[in-house]
Chains A and B, each alone.
Chain A
Amino acid sequence: MNPAVETQIPALETTGPAVIQIMGVGTAGVRLLDTLAGADFAGAARVAIDTDAASLTASGVSHKIQLDNRLVRGLDTGGDAEHNRALAEAQYATLKAAGAGAQVILLVAGLGGGVGGVITPLLARAARETGALVLAFVTLPFDWEGSHRRDQARQDLKQIRAQADGVICLPNQKTFKLIDENTGVAEFFRISAGLLTEALRGVWQLMTRPGLIQIHLADLCALLRDKNSEAVFAFVEAAGSARAREVVEKLLAHPLLDEGRALAESDTVLVNLMGGRDLTMGEVNRVMEQITRQCEHARVIMGAALDEPLKDRLTVTVIAARHGRSAAPGEAAPSRGAHACPPPREPSGKPHAAGGRRKADPKLRQELLPLATISKGRFDKSEPTIHHGEDLDIPTYLRRGVSFY
């Protein structure tokens, strides 16, 4: 947590209006995109992409791309993933053109359905080919939506992870705890959408507002890029004189952070504080002290920024990432060096965390996204070979994030 050096380097240039582009993909994505309107996202080009004409017509976004869909005459293709994939591959050029010129592309989609999950990875690939940095914000379906959708969503997520620089994911099921059960369905979805919006806003602010203590996009990417990492986020705000204490309380009670437990299990935690002109050093100190106490073993990346319109409110965005399966019990989480995040992707020598604090209570384990299990194959039972905190028994290509597709 030494920002002194980092502040020397300018943040991402945000001079041109179309440098950052937000794309909503699929019905859910397009709807989410609509909620992103407003002053907070001034300067971002918003693009809605769907196969369904009706969904696009309903959207207030000015730039819309309807993927040609002759088979169903412009109607929604629904959950037919294979069909969508073929469709999207055929119109790859259109997707690529959509992202042209942008330096950073934020993708918003709901997974498990037919369009969002299928087109998003392709979009990410297309965007990356144009040299842009890609962050994806996705929702996972509710448990009651059935195993088919859940499996589909997991597959989709895997695909996206392989293509995008970073993925932040919101399992809808978790929002249940956050929202009163008696809430109306429409209201419920509005709040749930609001959660994702908050994450987006957090990242957005992080990129666009000049920070007092700057968090680099590189830091964010390093945090999110690891294929096997699981990231959760929370965004809280409070106002008034006791706001510093209040945000911490809210954070530690936040259902998306498992009431703060996710912090304790994380390997890397990114914290961004934002306040009005009256943000005091004491407040920054108080908040950070509390958060770092929760995640003693994690590498904490912190940033602080001033935002005039916030007035007396204080907002805190937390993104906590836990890397793949821990390898060495009893071994303290190793500190990791700073990683470069070059927009032209390279397999970076990112050490895989062996952050092996094993908690006594297995229930404390955050049960988010058991995705690609890291296989040690025949070395599963043998003494792990740890080198600088990396478990070398895991195939090198996995640790270096080289994917073959």
Chain B
Amino acid sequence: MFDDSNLIVGLEIGTSKVCVVVGELNAGGALNIVGLGQAPAGGVRKGEIVDPAQAEEAVHYAIVEAEKMAGVEISRVYLGVTGAHIRGFNNRGIHRVLAEDHEITEVDVQDVVKNAKAINLSVENSIVHAVRQHFFLDGQDGVTNPVGMLGSLLEVDVHVIHGVTNRLQNAIRLVKGLHLEVEEIVFNGLASSLALLTNEQKELGALVIDLGGGTTEYVVYVNGIVKHTGVLAIGGDHISNDLGHGLKVSLSRAEKLKCEHGAALVQESSKGHIITLAHELNLPARTINHEHLQRIMSLRLEEIFQIIAQDLEQAGVMDYLGAGVFIGGGGARIPHLAQLAETVFKLPVSLGQTNSISGLTSALDQPEFLTAIGLVKYASLKSRKRPAGGFLSLLRNQFARVLSLFF
């Protein structure tokens, strides 16, 4: 096949669906979406794989579909990970500048970041991301690039996202089993936030909620940096389960009712309204109170938002969300969700619209693809740091890196 160094692929193994997004970096480094693949997932609960065989099949199907659409062969992916085991916290690294003239060099910056990443994690945990936040120079806040500045004490905050190694490995192994290479794993919430927010919104402060099938991830940006992350192992599945239990219908029926009649708030029009469920033969079989349906949904969604709001309150970031709340993921399709979220967070809420990426509009419009698009975006940001260019320059770069080890 042809050179695929400009090809980046995001793979999200979600609880309800597997999404693959194929992006292409053009010469200018801009990202273009060229292919999509999706398959209803199986064997995944709460964002984690419980039945590898079933999940593998879904991933395979989605990958093949994306390959067909983009007309490429996929060999490497950026894999999105999530699950209740993933946690985020902030850590600070300290480094004393030893140079006579107190000028901070690149090496000092590397050292301080290294210090910040050196954290005591229990053996079973491993770091997914360590996102650099702001530097402090002799206690002075908000330094974004200290190289060349003068100071004696350099500090940096990093936001560390970590998870249980074995559970992260499960997803990686599954992908590797399909003869795909995992370039990097990326926390789903982070990916979604990249797809959703503009730099300006990150500066203003924003909360991104990805309301998925099995999990809900949230990421907070304050002053342009990732300040807080979290995963709540509750999602659309729970809503269906609640409905199934509350209305005494089967899960698949509940799922369908949720999509057809659901709302995040009880609607005036649904009060006293009865939904008639049809039999296979189109005969009326059962009736369901529309108001109850919406109330059950509303209670669950409200609770999800309340738990997130509580967490943010505790983290002390609630007052810094100037740009408001952004909701993505399949859950964003629920009618009146923004209205409900507004009452809980008391902030302007908008439903996720991917921006700053061009390509297939059909993908950009669907909130379900948010994470996968974010993965591609993440990859493009990564590669932008590397010198852009073909395979050769990449190779040269690699050589240079190896050489620099010796000299």
Chain A residues within 8 Å of B, Cβ to Cβ:
375-379, 382-383, 385, 387, 392-393, 395-398, 400, 402, 404
Given A377-B244, A385-B46: A397 in contact with B296 (beta carbons within 8 A): yes
Q: B50 to A395, Cβ gap below 8 A? A: no
A382 CA / B48 CA spacing, docked (Å): 10
Q: A383 to B84, Cβ gap below 8 A? A: yes
Given A385-B84, A396-B299, A404-B289: A375 in contact with B245 (beta carbons within 8 A): yes
7 closest A-B pairs by beta carbon, nearest first, are A395-B242, A377-B241, A385-B233, A396-B299, A396-B300, A382-B45, A404-B292
Q: Does B337 contact A (CB under 8 A)?
A: no
Write out, one digit per residue, whether chain B residues 236-262 have a CB within 8 A of any chain A CB (1) or not (0).
011001101110000100000000000
Q: B246 to A395, Cβ gap below 8 A? A: yes
| List of B residues within 8 angstroms of A385 by Cβ | 46, 84, 232-234
Q: B299 to A397, Cβ gap below 8 A? A: yes
Q: Is the interface of B mostly helix, strand, loop or mixed?
A: helix
What are 28 contact pairs spanning A and B, CB under 8 A? A377-B245, A377-B251, A379-B45, A379-B46, A379-B241, A382-B46, A382-B50, A385-B84, A385-B232, A385-B233, A392-B232, A392-B234, A395-B242, A395-B300, A396-B242, A396-B296, A396-B300, A396-B302, A396-B303, A397-B242, A397-B295, A397-B296, A397-B299, A397-B300, A400-B299, A402-B295, A404-B292, A404-B295
| List of B residues within 8 angstroms of A378 by Cβ | 45, 237, 241, 251
Q: Does B307 contact A (CB under 8 A)?
A: yes
Given contacts A392-B232, A404-B289, 8 further A-B contacts (CB under 8 A): A379-B238, A379-B241, A385-B233, A392-B233, A392-B238, A396-B300, A402-B299, A404-B295
Shortest distance in angstroms between B401's beta carbon and chain A's nearest beta carbon?
41
Given A387-B307, A404-B246: A393 in contact with B299 (beta carbons within 8 A): no
Shortest distance in angstroms between A222's beta carbon and chain B's nearest beta carbon?
19
Shortest distance in angstroms between B340's beta carbon and chain A's nearest beta carbon?
13
A402 CA / B87 CA spacing, docked (Å): 32
Q: A395 to B307, Cβ gap below 8 A? A: no
| List of A residues within 8 angstroms of B232 by Cβ | 385, 387, 392
Which residue of the partner chain B has the closest CB to A387?
B307
| List of B residues within 8 angstroms of A377 by Cβ | 241, 244-245, 251
A393 CA / B241 CA spacing, docked (Å): 9
A398 CA / B242 CA spacing, docked (Å): 9
| List of B residues within 8 angstroms of A404 by Cβ | 246, 289, 292, 295
A396 CA / B306 CA spacing, docked (Å): 12
A375 CA / B241 CA spacing, docked (Å): 9
| List of B residues within 8 angstroms of A402 by Cβ | 295, 299
Which residue of the partner chain B has the closest CB to A384?
B233
Which residue of the partner chain B has the closest CB to A405?
B292
Q: A397 to B46, Cβ gap below 8 A? A: no
Shortest distance in angstroms between A269's beta carbon and chain B's nearest beta carbon?
28
| List of A residues within 8 angstroms of B292 by Cβ | 404
Which residue of the partner chain A has the closest CB to B302?
A396
A395 CA / B239 CA spacing, docked (Å): 8
Q: B303 to A395, Cβ gap below 8 A? A: no
Shortest distance in angstroms between B212's beta carbon and chain A's nearest beta carbon?
14
Q: A395 to B296, Cβ gap below 8 A? A: yes
| List of B residues within 8 angstroms of A398 by Cβ | 245
Write out, one digit per residue, whether chain B residues 133-171 have a CB within 8 A of any chain A CB (1) or not (0).
000000000000000000000000000000000000000
| List of B residues within 8 angstroms of A375 by Cβ | 245
A379 CA / B295 CA spacing, docked (Å): 21
Shortest distance in angstroms between A313's beta carbon and chain B's nearest beta carbon?
48
A201 CA / B325 CA spacing, docked (Å): 54
A205 CA / B185 CA spacing, docked (Å): 64
A397 CA / B246 CA spacing, docked (Å): 8
A114 CA / B224 CA spacing, docked (Å): 68
A383 CA / B84 CA spacing, docked (Å): 9
| List of B residues within 8 angstroms of A395 by Cβ | 238, 241-242, 245-246, 296, 300
Which residue of the partner chain B has the closest CB to A385?
B233
A397 CA / B292 CA spacing, docked (Å): 10
| List of A residues within 8 angstroms of B299 by Cβ | 396-397, 400, 402
A205 CA / B113 CA spacing, docked (Å): 66
A379 CA / B236 CA spacing, docked (Å): 13
Tell me which of B244, B245, B300 has the highest count of chain A C-beta atoms within 10 A of its own C-beta.
B245
| List of A residues within 8 angstroms of B45 by Cβ | 378-379, 382
Tell me which of A378, A396, A397 has the highest count of chain B C-beta atoms within 10 A of its own C-beta.
A396
A376 CA / B241 CA spacing, docked (Å): 8
Shortest distance in angstroms between B83's beta carbon and chain A's nearest beta carbon?
9
A378 CA / B233 CA spacing, docked (Å): 14
In chain B between 292 and 322, which residues have their CB closer than 8 angstroms to a CB of chain A?
292, 295-296, 299-300, 302-303, 307
| List of B residues within 8 angstroms of A379 by Cβ | 45-46, 237-238, 241
| List of B residues within 8 angstroms of A396 by Cβ | 242, 296, 299-300, 302-303
Shortest distance in angstroms between B86's beta carbon and chain A's nearest beta carbon?
13
Given A377-B245, A404-B246: A393 in contact with B295 (beta carbons within 8 A): no
